[in-house]
Copies of this chain bind each other. A is one copy, B any other.
């Protein structure tokens, strides 16, 4: 699917605030309600817009602490990997989970209320699956966090 500048403008608005009425979005980008609405529909059908969600304040739901967990493993059989992915993905505290190149095999972002709860999480984690090497790095401060992806790369070259 190709995204033109209108689509990009719509996405820019909706990434920041999905409560804005379609009529208002149209007004901002110079389009009337229906064509604007049709573009949004298409963006949803094509999966460019995956979902609309409420973003919560981590501190207000008592998960103000972020920990990055680096995992190195010696297992490489597919069976074990599938189980590993499944077990880890099921933890609600694990909000991001990447397979990495380089030194570390996997990187997790974990959210918990404090260090004590992280310790409890950690114990539960290692009790459920065997991990060769695990190292934890604590975030002291979240300086930036956004769900808005850059859209400069999404638009085709100007005609």
Contacts and interface: CB of A to CB of B under 8 A. Distances in A.
A15 B68 CA distance: 22
A127 interface: no
A74 interface: no
Interface string A76-112: 0000000001001100111111111111101100011
B54 A11 contact: yes
Q: How many copies does the complex hold?
A: 2
B53 A138 contact: no
A144 B104 CA distance: 17
Interface string A38-76: 000000001111111111111011110010100000000
Interface of A: 1, 3, 11, 14-19, 46-58, 60-63, 66, 68, 85, 88-89, 92-104, 106-107, 111-113, 117, 137-154
